[in-house]
Every structure is written in C-alpha cells, then in structure tokens.
Chain A
C-alpha cells in the first residue's frame, strides 16, 4: 500500500519563497514527481527525483531523501500565476503514479 501526505493549503506573498513538503510510505519506490494543477486544468509535470538530493529547474527546485521518505518542492520569487495545486506523486514498481491529495497554494500581492 501507499501513504502520501502533504499539507492541504498554504499561503504566501508575491516575491517570497515557499516550501511544500511531502512524506511518503510506499513499497517498490521508483521515484517521486511533482505536478502543478491550475483550477479546471490538467496536471502538468514539474519535476522528477529518483536519487537523493536537490534538482533545480529555474524558480522551482525539488528535493528527495529516500531514507526519510521525504520530499519538498521549493518555489522561489513567487508570482501570482503560481497560485495552483501542487501534487506530490510516487511511482510504485514502475507501473503507475500514486498521487497525494495535493497542496493548494494561494499567492497574494
């Protein structure tokens, strides 16, 4: 079975930095993904971590610690358009992504 936990909601202001945490317990772990989903739209791929450490992509970075079952998504220089749901997902056994319930981020000016 699998259990993926992330905060339900977070708020932040434009220009700030926010970190969205995700803890997981899965069997046959094959990687951790972060997706962004704006209201009424499809999820879009942000990052993939399979080894421990930090992956940086522009304003977004993702970190993984496999021994701790922990990941975070770091968003820098927040913009209003970053208001969205952020979904943490684990790949189990190379078969399918199992998603957490998502974190709704609200960015205010």
Chain B
C-alpha cells in the first residue's frame, strides 16, 4: 500500500499544452507539498498545503496552480507548458517534524 502516490509517473507533452499531476497520501498527514527537481538534481519547494489551505507559495509562475480537494489529495495543474518546465515533480506529506517528509515516487515531465 503506497503511502504517497503520484500519477502519472511519466508525462511527455508538447509546449503550450495544459496538464495535471495527481497526488494522494494515505498516511493521515495534515500537510502536503509539491517540489520540483531540475536536471541538476536541485529540489525546490513550490507549494505547501495544510489541511486544504495554501500556506506556502514560492516564486512559481502563475501557470502552476495547486488544488487540494481534501487533506489527502494535492493536485498540480500546469497551463501553457514551456520547455523549462521539464523536470521531476515530487509530492510529499508530513505530520510533525521528527519523522520528516514522505515523498512520492515523482512524475518526470518532459515538454517537447
């Protein structure tokens, strides 16, 4: 039973398209996150939701819009995809500090 699951695992799409990535966690955690990992493996926070409320919104183009229908789900919608959006996107969840974050297996997005 996967703790944090993301779909799809791979996504290849053309510039200008709109796409969504879904994330679900079955850990009962209150907080969920989206991170972007670029080609140099740098993992950067994009958004954080606590109990369906947005608490972090880093400097991310407004083409990216997170949506949290309930505290177990955090989806990421991306409009008008650009080449520079190609990266691996990781969803994560947490509850408290000492146990850290649990990451999903990532979605590799390739924009062509």
- Using CB atoms and an 8 Å cutoff, list the residues of chain A in contact with chain B: 30-31, 33, 35, 37, 41-45, 48, 50, 85, 87, 91, 94-99, 101-102, 104
Contact = CB atoms under 8 A, between A and B. Distances in A.
A6 B105 CA distance: 24
B33 A96 contact: yes
Nearest to A33: B100
Contacts of B42: 99, 101-102
A97 B55 contact: no
A37 B56 CA distance: 24
A97 B43 CA distance: 10
Contact of A48 (B98, B103, B106): B98
A48 B56 contact: no
B102 interface: yes
Contacts of A44: 103
A43 B43 CA distance: 10
A45 to B, nearest CB: 3
Contact of A85 (B41, B102, B105): B41
A87 B43 contact: yes
A15 B8 CA distance: 39
Contact of A99 (B43, B97, B102): B43
Please list the 3 inter-chain residue pairs (A to B) with the smallest Cβ-Cβ separation, ordered nearest first.
A45-B100, A42-B103, A99-B43
Contacts of B101: 43, 45, 97
For B90, B97, B106, the residue with the greatest tally of chain A CB atoms inside 10 Å of its CB is: B97
Given A97-B45, A99-B44, A102-B42, A42 B97 contact: no
Contacts of A95: 48, 55-56
Contacts of A45: 99-102
B104 interface: yes
Given A41-B105, A42-B90, A98 B45 contact: yes
A33 B97 CA distance: 10
A83 to B, nearest CB: 14
B91 to A, nearest CB: 9
